Amino acid sequence: MEICQSEALRYLGYRANRPPDTQTLALLQETQAQLEAVLAPKSLYKEVPLRRISESETEIGGIVFQSRKLQRHLRDSDRILLFAATLGAGADRLIRRFAAAGETAKAAAAQALGAAAIEGYCDELCAQIAEREEKNGYYLRQRFSPGYGDLPLEAQRDFFKLFDITKRIGVTLTDQCMMLPTKSVTAFVGLSKTPSCAKSGCETCPDTACAYRKGET
């Protein structure tokens, strides 16, 4: 698993017109080495039945989820996967250790690197799934997570009912529907017989009405 430093810098607020200085880059390099030493990535996915009920209701694995954007996102899909991944508790412990020691810059760098790491890990896993599924004539849609768009974060409770995320990869859900370890992802991943944008960025995609287009809320 590779951690994209440019993504971490983006999370830290750096852009092309505001590049990081050499001190920041050195801090990022040092923090990344410490973070990589404690990562314990795990993942799982499972296919469940998919049924459309209405423009805003989708039955997934026997549970009805209310979201127009999820329904629109899955409009070309006739199969669906439940997807979950985590970097493990080590990343959270390292961030807390930096914060407790007053190393706020390192804590911020570790947060950003952790965010980049979990996204990169999910992308790698989905690319592997996509390669296998394309041999069967199916294409992956992009991930759609509880808390995105009009799918409330509380949908995590139902998502966790659909398969044993806690037992299998150690991710738990708080009363506020936040995941622990924090560097974890859950998502619905549609499978369609129509080629989709799962492998390319929104800037190259002609589908301006896509529910998952970056920048749309």
Q: Mind listing the pLDDT tens digit for each residue in 140-175?
A: 999 999 999 999 999 999 999 999 999 999 999 999
Of 8 and 198, more confident: 8
Q: Is the pLDDT of residue 215 over 70?
A: no
pLDDT digits (tens, 9 = 90+) for 88-127: 999 999 999 999 999 999 999 999 999 999 999 999 999 9
pLDDT digits (tens, 9 = 90+) for 11-59: 999 987 888 999 999 999 999 999 999 999 999 999 999 999 999 999 9
Beta bridge partners of 18: 15
Q: How far apart are CA 80 and CA 159, in angstroms?
A: 13
pTM score of the predicted model: 0.88
pLDDT exceeding 70 applies to what percent of the chain?
Answer: 90
The total number of residues written for the chain in this structure: 217
Of 208 and 136, more confident: 136
Is CATH 3.40.50.300 the right assignment for the domain spanning 5-196? no
104-134 vs 22-36: helix axis angle to the nearest 10?
60
SS3 call for 83: strand
pLDDT exceeding 90 applies to what percent of the chain?
Answer: 85
Q: How far apart are CA 72 and CA 199, in angstroms?
A: 19
Q: Is the pLDDT of residue 73 over 90?
A: yes
Instruction: Return the pLDDT at 202.
Output: 52
